[in-house]
Amino acid sequence: CGGPSGDAVAPDADARPAPRVVERTHERSHETMGTEIRLTAVSADEAAAVAAFSQVFVDFDRIDSLLSVWKPESEVVRLNAAAGVHPVAVSADTREVLRIAREVSEWTDGAFDVTFGALTGLWKFDAQDKDGSVPDPREVQARLPLVDYRRLTIDEAAGTAFLARKGVKVHLGGIGKGYAVDRAVAILRSHGLRDFMIQAGGDLYVGGLKDGRPWKLGIRDPRGSVDQLFATVDLTDGTFSTSGDYERFFFKDGRRYHHILDLKAGEPARLSRSVTLVTNKAVIADALAKGVFILGPVRGLALVERIPDVEAVIVGAGNEVVVSSGLKGKVTMLARPTDAP
C-alpha cells in the first residue's frame, strides 16, 4: 500500500513545464574617444551579451583610430596634413562621417562646421590641451577664414577626401561618437539584443524597453550638480543627445568659456545653456545638437521644427526652457533649471 505499482509510467517529458527563462541586466564600460562608453542590456544569455559588448568596444576603438586628431596615424590627421596639397584616401566610415557633417552644416548655415579644427591650439578645451587660457582675439580672427565646410570635398568613386586650402583642419569631436553609437546599435541587434542602452558621454541610444516600459531619460540641469535633473523624457528605440556649456568649460574674470564655439564670432556661443536632441540617429543628434545650441532657442527651434523626426528641449541663455512641438506632453518637468552664471 502506498508503493509504486509495477505498471506505473513516467510522466511524458513534453508535458513538463518549460524551464523559466530569467532575463538579467548586464553592464560593461570602456574608456575611449575621450569618454566612458557604458553599455547596458537585458538578456537571458550573459555570454552573448558580453560578446556583443566586446565587439562594440573594439569598434569604438577602431573608429577612434580613424577620426581622432590626437592619433598621429589617423585618417583625419593625414587629411589635415594634406590640406591644399592633394586628396587623401580614407575609409568608407570616415567618408560617411564627413558627408553627414557637411549635410548638418548646410542645415545650420554653417553653425555646425567640422573645419573648426583651424581654431584648435587657440581655444583649448580638450583634456589633452586644456589650460584655461583665452586666446588673443586677433589670432582668432586671423584663422576664421580657414573655417569653411565648403572647402571639404568627398569623392566616393575615388574613395578620397580633400581640404581645398592649406591650413583648413577637420575636427570630428562633435560627430564621431554619434556615428560610433549608431554602429553599436547595429552590433547589439545583430547579437539578438533588443532591450539595451548605449551611453557615450552626452550621446545616448535606448533600444526596446526597460522593465516593460519605455526608458525614462533625464535631462541634466545646466547649472545644477552632476546628477541634478530638471526634466525627463520617455523614449524607446531612439537617441538622445545633449550639448551644454557645462561639459567642458572654465571661468576667467567671472565669465564662462566653453567648448561649443560660435564660428562666426570665433568664441563660445552665448545663446544657449543646453540643447537635448531626440531623434532616431545618434550621428544626427550629436552634430545637430551643437548647431542648434549655437543658433539659440529661436532659430534653433525653427530649424528643429523643419526637420522630420527631430525634436528638442532647449535651455536658453536666460534660463528659459523651450520644447519642440513633437515633445509636448512627452517631457516631464521636474523643476525649473537653476539660474546661475
pLDDT value at residue 5: 40
> Does 120 have pLDDT greater than 90?
no
> Does 131 have pLDDT greater than 90?
no
> Does 127 have pLDDT greater than 90?
no
pLDDT value at residue 15: 57
3-class SS of residue 259: coil
Strand partners, 56: none
> Does 332 have pLDDT greater than 90?
yes
pLDDT tens figures, 4-21: 444 434 445 555 665 556
**Confidence band for 128, pLDDT divided at 50, 70 and 90:** confident
pLDDT value at residue 129: 77
Place of cell 523626426: 309
Instruction: Please give the single-letter amino acid code of residue 106.
Output: E
Distance separating alpha carbons of residues 190 and 226, to the nearest angstrom: 34
pLDDT tens figures, 146-161: 999 999 999 999 999 9
Place of cell 545637430: 288
What is the mean pLDDT of the segment spanning 25-36? 96
pLDDT value at residue 1: 43
pLDDT tens figures, 232-281: 999 999 999 999 999 899 999 999 999 999 999 999 999 999 999 999 99
| Cell digits of residue 9 | 509510467
CB 265 within 8 A of CB 298: no
pLDDT value at residue 21: 61
Distance separating alpha carbons of residues 28 and 57, to the nearest angstrom: 10
pLDDT value at residue 130: 80
pLDDT tens figures, 133-148: 999 999 999 999 999 9
**Helices marked H in the chain:** 46-67, 75-81, 92-107, 137-143, 176-190, 282-306
Strand partners, 315: 274, 321
The alpha carbon of residue 231 and the mean position of all alpha carbons in its chain are separated, in whole angstroms, by 19
What is the mean pLDDT of the segment spanning 74-89? 98
pLDDT tens figures, 188-225: 999 999 999 999 999 999 999 999 999 999 999 999 99
| Cβ-based neighbours of 97, under 8 Å, separated by 6 or more | 67, 172, 175, 176, 179, 283
Nearest to 53 by CA among 191, 210, 182: 191
Question: Percentage of residues in the chain with pLDDT exceeding 70?
Answer: 94
What is the mean pLDDT of the segment spanning 284-311? 98
Place of cell 518637468: 333
Instruction: Please give the single-letter amino acid code of residue 152.
Output: L
Nearest to 242 by CA among 287, 282, 275: 275
Distance separating alpha carbons of residues 304 and 86, to the nearest angstrom: 37
Question: Percentage of residues in the chain with pLDDT exceeding 90?
Answer: 89
In the chain, what's the furthest Cα-to-Cα distance?
104
Average pLDDT, the chain: 93
3-class SS of residue 258: strand
pLDDT value at residue 6: 41
Distance separating alpha carbons of residues 245 and 260, to the nearest angstrom: 7
**235: enclosing H helix or E strand:** strand 229-235
pLDDT value at residue 98: 98
Nearest to 296 by CA among 263, 325, 274, 267: 274
Which of these ranges, 16-30, 43-57, 81-95, 157-171, has the smallest mean pLDDT? 16-30
- Cα separations (Å) of 314 from 206, 230, 275, 330? 21, 12, 5, 15
